[in-house]
């Protein structure tokens, strides 16, 4: 399953941003349009690095599909940043 939404929130002293829902699925539109160029670049990188092209595609797809459920919380002093990928 590919990621659909990302939730981003920032909380700092004197600054509070409500959590924003970003529609990540809209990034698939330019990704589909740029797919031929991306595949050519990946093929060139695989050829130069002597890596199996189909294995590289499989690894990248697994990384993209494993993004949902990612929850990153960063604290520094009194500031806080939250990023969740749904």
Measured between alpha carbons, how far is 64 from 71 in angstroms, rounded to an integer?
15
Answer yes or no: pTM beyond 0.95: no
Q: What is the pLDDT of residues 61-70, one digit of tens each?
A: 999 889 899 9
pLDDT classification of 15: cutoffs 50, 70, 90: confident
Please compute the mean of the pLDDT values over residues 25-46 and round it to a whole number. 92
**Contact call for residues 68 and 7 (beta carbons, < 8 A):** no
Please compute the mean of the pLDDT values over residues 43-64 and round it to a whole number. 93
Q: Among residues 57, 2, 62, which one has the least CA distance to residue 27?
A: 2
pLDDT classification of 30: cutoffs 50, 70, 90: very high
Beta bridge partners of 15: 12
- pLDDT mean across residues, the chain: 91
Where b means 16+ CB within 10 Å and e means fewer, 42-80 reads eeeebeeeeeeeeeeeeeeeeeeeeebeeeeeeeeeeee
């Amino acid at each position: 399953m590919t990621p659909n939404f990302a939730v981003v929130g920032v909380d700092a002293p004197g600054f509070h941003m409500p959590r924003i829902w970003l529609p990540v699925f809209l990034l698939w539109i330019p990704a589909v349009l740029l797919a031929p160029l991306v595949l050519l670049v990946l093929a060139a990188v695989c050829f130069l690095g002597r890596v199996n092209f189909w294995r590289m595609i499989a690894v990248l797809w697994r990384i993209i599909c494993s993004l949902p459920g990612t929850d990153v919380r960063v604290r520094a002093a009194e500031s806080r940043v939250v990023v969740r990928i749904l």
